[in-house]
Amino acid sequence: MGMRKSAPGGRARERGGGTAIRPHLPTSPWLFLAPGLLVVGGFSLYPFVSTVAHSFTDARTLTVGQFTGGANYQEMLHDPMFWTGLRNSALYVLGVVPPLVVLPLLLALLVRRSVPGIAFFRAAFYLPVVASVVVVGLIWVWLLDDRGLINALLGVLGFGRAGFLSDPWLLLLSAMAVTVWKGLGYYMIIYLAALTQVPRELHEACAVDGAGAVRRFLTVTVPAVRSTMVLVAALSAVNAFKVFSEVYLMAGATGGPGGEDTTLVMLVQQAGTGLGGRVGYASALSVVVFVLTLGLMLLVLRANRGEDR
């Protein structure tokens, strides 16, 4: 930093003082950019290239590996765990996106009007976003325990106990519920920002015409925040597809009984880490994760562009 401060800048000043032709030396922008480009290049772009390259080899953690063509990808197609992981990650998107598009919008409408104490409620609803996913996971593991609070309440209401953390399907559903619970506040704030752009008069005019609350919601609010809904759908879809921590914590490292709840990213983590890690195979799985999220991500960019206009 000291170098950057004195060397290029000093000379630029001498020149700049005279004719004001060049605002800076040609090298100084690159000095400003160097740390960022180095980190991003070295720890995002290079690993990406190396992931693609490794996916065509049989590399392991401790051995370099030989070129094996598409063998990893072929193996994947015959690996039942891959299909389980793909199924669960896809189900996660389907299960999590609709509630995360609708519920935070309703929440945003609820906290939109500034009634006394509303700042407190907004902050409180954001709390699950602030907490680490590990803490959130452990809180719900305890709540959903066989002898935990929720089963106790179910018992009081006369229902039987549910094996939230032992039945593979209930486990996946529980993990989805936790993801939704943790994400509500985050998307609520995004909707809140969008709602400030909706003109009040529109609502009032509609109310004068005698439209009920539900009707006004559907005819005024929803069209006005439509592009935000697309954005939220895309963002939550991308995040849901890459789910790891919730399932890892609630179902265990191997993804529940018989690995029935494993997700794609859990497979990457299982295959690629440790001393015997199959880096080649894990890389091929990573490439699949990348390609499938990219499709969802392009949707995000589109939604963003729609927002700007």
Partner 1 sequence: MTGPGRRGRRRRKGPLVVRYLLLLVVLALTVGPFLWQLSTSLKGPGEDIYRYPPSLVPEHPTLANYAAVGRVIPVWDFALNSVKVAVANVLTNCAGAALAGYALARLRFRGRRCAVVVFVMAMLVPVESIMIAQFMTMRQLQLNDTLLGVVLPGCIGAMNVLLMRNAFAALPYEVEEAAYVDGAHAWQRFVRIALPSVKGTLAVVAVFAFMGAWDDFLWPLIVLSDQSKFTLTVGLNYLHGTFANDQRLVAAGSVIAVLPLIVLFACLQRYFFRGVEEGAVKG
Q: Which of residues 246-305 bind partner 1 (CB under 8 A)?
A: 249, 253, 265, 268-269, 272-273, 277, 279, 282-283, 286-287, 289-290, 293-294, 297, 304-305
Q: Are 172 and 247 spatial neighbours (Cβ–Cβ below 8 Å)?
A: yes
Which residue, 39 or 94, has its beta carbon nearer to partner 1? 39
Nearer to partner 1, 23 or 257 (CB): 23
Residues 278, 231: Cα–Cα separation, whole Å: 36
Compute CA distances 120 → 125, 127, 183, 189, 299, whole Å: 9, 11, 18, 14, 34
Cα 235-222-234 angle, rounded to 5 deg: 10
Q: How many residues interact with partner 1 (rule CB under 8 A)?
A: 115
Q: Which is nearer to partner 1, 25 or 71 (CB)?
A: 25
Q: Using CB under 8 A, which of 56, 140, 164, 230 touches partner 1?
A: 140
Residues 169-188 that bind partner 1 (CB under 8 A): 181, 184-186
Strand partners, 57: 67
Of these, 90, 154, 173, 189, which contacts partner 1 (CB under 8 A)?
Answer: 189
Nearest residue (CB) to partner 1, 76 versus 265: 265
The answer to whether 76 and 88 are in contact (CB under 8 A) is: no
Residue 27-56 contact track with partner 1, rule CB under 8 A, x = bound: -xxx-xx-xxx-xxxxxxxxxx-xx--x--
Q: Which of residues 73-92 bind partner 1 (CB under 8 A)?
A: none
Contacts of 38 (CB under 8 A, 6+ apart): none
Binding residue for partner 1 (CB under 8 A) from 19, 21, 69, 115? 115
Which residue do the tokens 């690995």 mark? 259
Contact criterion met (CB below 8 Å) for 23 and 9:
no
The minimum distance between CB 139 and partner 1, in angstroms, equals 5
Select from 152, 199, 223, 258 the one that contacts partner 1 (CB under 8 A): 152
Draw the binding track, 212-251, toward partner 1 (x: CB under 8 A; -: no contact).
xxx-xx----------x--x------x---x-xx---x--
Minimum CB distance to partner 1 smaller for 172 or for 296: 296
Sole window of 75-83, 90-98, 140-148, 166-174 interacting with partner 1 (rule: CB under 8 A): 140-148
* Least distance (Å) between residue 69 CB and partner 1: 19
Tokens found for residue 240: 């849901």
DSSP 46-77: HHHHHHHHHTTB---SSS---B-TTHHHHHHH
Single out the residue of 248, 264, 245 nearest to residue 182, CA to CA. Answer: 245
Q: How far apart are CA 241 and CA 265, in angstroms?
A: 9
| Contacting range for partner 1; rule: CB under 8 A; set: 66-74, 80-88, 147-155, 169-177 | 147-155
The answer to the question of residue 205 lying near partner 1 (CB under 8 A) is no
CA 95-232-169 angle, to 5 degrees, is: 10
- Quickly tell me which residue has 């990893």 as its tokens: 72
Round to whole Å and give the CA distance between 50 and 197: 44
Within 55-74, the residues that bind partner 1 by CB under 8 A are 61
Question: If you ran DSSP here, which 8-state letter would residue 57 be given?
Answer: B
